[in-house]
């Protein structure tokens, strides 16, 4: 189930990226895009919580604080990199998050012997490089650092999501609080840039952005809250595959042979991690059955 939740999240985030591209093409500003990344989530989740009489107060303000500081920082740094770097380079740097997660889990996170999933994450990143083939010019070094910072902060945010799941925090509350912080962070941008007049195409794309972001965030929060951080880290790369499919269908951007090989690496990384999780679960069930029999 953890794999399915993460794959759903990747599909939704790929769709969200396509909506961002369409919204920007039809004149939406960066601040408007950030605002609509959060508004549908806040309205729908808050309304649902009120109607069903859910408790809105979180169980740990501290975990939410660090999750939102790191998550919002990652989002803005990533947007800055996207606006100052070639798209393949910015996306590749953003997808260093699984590498940071792997390093942390192997060193301090209780997965010191999980070398197979660590290899899977590295294989997946090689696949990302094959698909995107990033390049950095002499005048793009600072922007590249911000992209790398986005990946690092994104890794911190995902690990905090994992901690929130272990603390028993429901996914809807984690996503609602994060979305509220996203909306708050867009206020400064709107104050500086003003509100851009938008056509119906931009409004439709912004709505799609918000809804796909909501579903993707809920699915990712559920996946990371279920335990295996390296499994979700490896599967995170499948977003690139979904993005490539969307690019073929809607923009006619057909990958070349190197890109297809890169996608094969990404799929292989996901299959290795999923197989590893399946073997562990099967061993755990067998051990539990033997214990009960004895």
Tokens of 214: 């909501």
Distance CA 8, CA 14 (A): 10
pLDDT tens-digit series, residues 14-30: 898 888 888 888 988 88
pLDDT tens-digit series, residues 33-53: 899 999 999 999 999 999 999
DSSP state of 20: H
The mean pLDDT value of the chain amounts to: 84
Exposure of 131 in the CB half-sphere (CA atoms within 13 A): 30
Tokens of 264: 């094969």
End-to-end CA distance of the chain: 30
Task: Name the more confident of 236 and 112.
Answer: 236
Q: Is the pLDDT of residue 292 over 60?
A: no
Backbone angles phi, psi at 113, to 5 degrees: -105, 5
CB 58 within 8 A of CB 145: no
Task: Taking residues 129-146, report their average pLDDT.
Answer: 78
Task: Taking residues 124-133, report their average pLDDT.
Answer: 85
pLDDT confidence of residue 3: 80
Distance CA 58, CA 109 (A): 24
CB 19 within 8 A of CB 208: yes
pLDDT confidence of residue 290: 60
Task: Name the more confident of 153 and 243.
Answer: 153
Task: Taking residues 216-234, report their average pLDDT.
Answer: 77
How wide is the angle at C-alpha 49 spanned by C-alphas 217 and 180, nearest 5°? 50
pTM as predicted: 0.81
């Amino acid at each position: 189930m953890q794999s399915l939740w993460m794959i759903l999240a990747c599909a939704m985030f790929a769709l969200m990226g396509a909506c961002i591209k369409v919204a920007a093409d039809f004149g939406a500003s960066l601040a408007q895009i950030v605002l609509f990344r959060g508004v549908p989530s806040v309205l729908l989740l808050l309304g649902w919580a009120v109607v069903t009489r859910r408790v809105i107060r979180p169980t740990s303000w501290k975990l939410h604080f660090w999750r939102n500081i790191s998550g919002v920082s990652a989002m803005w740094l990533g947007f800055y990199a996207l606006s100052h770097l070639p798209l393949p380079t910015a996306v590749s740097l953003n997808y260093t998050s699984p590498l940071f997660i792997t390093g942390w889990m192997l060193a301090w996170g209780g997965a010191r012997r999980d070398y197979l999933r660590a290899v899977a994450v590295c294989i997946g990143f090689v696949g990302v490089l094959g698909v995107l083939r990033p390049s950095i010019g002499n005048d793009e070094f600072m922007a590249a650092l911000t992209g790398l910072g986005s990946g690092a902060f994104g890794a911190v945010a995902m690990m905090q999501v994992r901690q929130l799941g272990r603390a028993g925090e429901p996914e809807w509350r984690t996503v609602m609080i994060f979305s509220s912080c996203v909306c708050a962070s867009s206020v400064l941008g709107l104050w500086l840039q003003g509100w851009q007049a938008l056509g119906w195409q931009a409004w439709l794309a912004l709505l799609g952005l918000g809804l796909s972001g909501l579903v993707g965030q809920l699915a990712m929060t559920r996946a990371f809250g279920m335990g295996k951080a390296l499994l979700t880290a490896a599967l995170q790369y499948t977003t690139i595959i979904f993005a490539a499919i969307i690019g073929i269908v809607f923009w006619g951007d057909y990958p070349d042979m190197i890109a297809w090989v890169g996608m094969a690496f990404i799929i292989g990384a996901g299959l290795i991690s999923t197989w590893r999780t399946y073997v562990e679960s099967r061993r755990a069930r067998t051990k539990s059955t033997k214990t009960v029999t004895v």
